[in-house]
Copies of this chain bind each other. A is one copy, B any other.
Amino acid sequence: MNIKNVKGTKDFYPEDKEVMNWIADTMRKVALNYGFLEVESPAFENLSLLCDEEAEETKSQIFVLEKRSNEQLGLRFDLTVPLARMFVAKQRELPKPVKWFCISRMWRYEAPQKGRLREFYQNSIECYGSNKPESDAEIVSMAIDTMLELGLKKMDFEVVINNRDLLQGFLEGLGIGKIEEIIVIIDKIKKIPQSEFIAELEKAGLSQVQIRKIDEFMKIKDLDKIDESKLNDRAKKGLNNLKQVMSLLEDKEDFIKLSLSTARGLAYYTGTVFEFFDRQGKYRSLFGGGRYDNMVRQFGGQDCPVTGIAMGFETLRLFLDEKMLLPDTELGVDYYIAPLNKDLIKEAVKIASKLRQNYKVNIDLMGRSLGKQMDFANKISAKNVIVIGENEIKSGKVKIKNMMSGEEQEVSLEELQ
């Protein structure tokens, strides 16, 4: 029998679970205040929903369940896909926009020796039905407010933002054919040295003029510096959209940085893309999102624009820990009730019952001596101890001992609540 947890998974003991609950509760509060509603999808889906038969690489990252009764199932690897399925199922009846979030876990297959997480938590937030910059701006704004609510400050993080139409249209305008290949290189611009970046573009067959123009363009820090007259229609559309999104985020401009190279890989994004980074650059990327207007149609729905973000817990938790923003755990009970002997247990249980209406209360379950009970109360960080002896029951008065200060306070049993 293998009594270890599976590699790449984590056991959440009380301290860790409390931290996860705090992150989730904080995210939930902000999402609800932005008018998003919470949903949840099953852990597994029909495999054909998660990947194409032929998409070997995607499939290799999915935990697939053993086939039975002709059912081929896989564990969800994100929340965006199952939520899109749920949206499609009710697309006609739901008033648009539909604003959902889901805080839950998902699974990606990694070989056991890699030591990477195979089970992880995300808050996935989706807005279905609006093709307006307002919805892009709202998602970014909500994510920023979530970070602030978690205790992070302006000096801690920033959001880089771009538009896929602007990037793609610009490259088309340069007469570049292999757009996807070039986008992958451009997306890396901040992660590799300038010389390597140029070399990769050369290797991809771009001319020196094209490379210079790309390099100049990517360095632009202000949308007003872009010469609109030189852009094709697609790039103009993207630029215009990006300007509107930025303008709607004026209140949060201190967090926002234009990044004309950001593409977020070759994933499903069609318009706005954005990515959250720590300003010190310790983490590759905290999380990101954008607009994916083709997804709903892909899952058999009617054409429907979508903007979303997936806020992963793991890097965020490390970041919050580094910034000393994780809350102190509050695992200690408010009261520990210590009966002096066996005959007093029933009286002690009554007192515990009463206090449990409003407080966290533990009571001796081991038939221990008072000394051992005090040891235990200390170990579990009980805040107060109430010793129940015959005198206390007779007099109807108990002493509450504060375990931090050592102070004792006498209270009548009736007052205790």
8 Å CB interface, A102-136 against B = 105, 107, 109, 111-113, 119, 127, 129-130, 132, 134-135
Query: Hey, which chain B residues are within 8 Å of A250, CB to CB?
Result: 346
Number of identical monomers bound together in the oligomeric complex: 2
Q: Is A226 an interface residue (CB 8 A)?
A: no
* A14 CB-CB contact with B under 8 Å: yes
Question: Which residues of chain B are within 8 angstroms of A89 by Cβ–Cβ distance?
Answer: 3-5, 11
Stretch at the interface among A92-100, A180-188, A195-203, A318-326: A92-100
Interface residues of A in 1-39 (CB under 8 A from B): 1-6, 9-14, 17-18, 20-21, 32-35, 37-39
A45 to B358, CA, bound (A): 37
With CB as the reference atom, state the residue of chain B lying closest to A21: B38
- Knowing A42-B6, A376-B95 are in contact, say whether A127-B37 is a contact too (CB < 8 A): no
* A65 CA / B44 CA spacing, docked (Å): 11
Residues on the B chain within 8 Å of A39, using CB: 11-14, 17
Contact with A2, one of B9, B48, B95 (Cβ below 8 angstroms): B48
A416 is an interface residue with CB less than 8 A from chain B? no
**Cβ contact of A49, chosen from B1, B66, B299, B360, cutoff 8 A:** B1
Task: Select A40's contact among B17, B44, B48, beta carbons within 8 Å.
Answer: B17
Q: Knowing A5-B41, A366-B96, say if A65 contacts B63 (CB, 8 Å).
A: yes
Chain B residues with CB under 8 Å of A35's CB are 333, 360-363
Q: Is the CB of A66 within 8 A of B66?
A: yes
B68/A6 in contact, CB under 8 A: no
Chain B residue numbers with a CB within 8 Å of A247 are 346
Q: Are A85 and B41 in contact (CB under 8 A)?
A: no
A365 at the interface (CB under 8 A from B): yes
Which of these, B4, B33, B40, contacts A20 with CB under 8 Å? B40
Tell me if A's interface is mostly helix, strand, loop or mixed: mixed
- Cross-chain contact A299 with B1 (CB below 8 angstroms): yes
Task: Write out the residue numbers on chain B whose beta carbons fall within 8 Å of the beta carbon of A90.
Answer: 13
> Known: A65-B63, A65-B64, A97-B366. Contact between A43 and B43, CB under 8 A?
yes
Collect the chain B residues with CB atoms within 8 Å of residue A359's CB.
33
By a CB distance below 8 angstroms, the chain B residues around A105 are 43
A119 closest partner in B (C-beta):
B42
| Selected interface stretch from A212-220, A275-283, A348-356, A402-410 | A348-356
A366 with B132: in contact, given A66-B65, A119-B42 (CB under 8 Å)? Answer: yes
Q: Would B13 and A86 count as touching, CB distance under 8 A? A: yes
- Which residue of the partner chain B has the closest CB to A379? B95
**A141 contacts partner chain B, Cβ-Cβ < 8 Å:** yes
Apart from the given pairs A5-B41, A17-B38, A248-B349, 16 other A-B contacts in the complex at a CB distance below 8 Å: A1-B299, A3-B49, A3-B88, A5-B86, A9-B44, A11-B42, A21-B38, A42-B119, A43-B75, A63-B65, A69-B113, A95-B376, A134-B349, A138-B365, A248-B345, A251-B349
Cβ-based interface call for A46 (8 A): yes
| Residue A71 is within 8 A (CB to CB) of chain B in the complex | yes
Contact size class for A?
35 or more
Given the complex of chains A and B, what is the CA–CA distance between A1 and B43 in angstroms?
Answer: 18
Interchain CB contact (< 8 A) of A356 among B33, B48, B100: B33
Nearest chain B residue, comparing its CB with the CB of A355: B33
Interface: A367 (CB within 8 A): yes
A135 to chain B, nearest CB (A): 5
Counting CB contacts under 8 A, is A166 at the interface?
Answer: no
Can you list 22 A-B pairs, Cβ within 8 angstroms, ordered by A? A2-B48, A5-B86, A6-B73, A11-B39, A11-B89, A13-B39, A13-B86, A17-B37, A17-B38, A17-B39, A17-B40, A32-B360, A35-B361, A44-B119, A63-B66, A68-B111, A69-B111, A127-B365, A130-B365, A141-B349, A141-B353, A248-B346
* Cβ of A204 under 8 Å from chain B: no
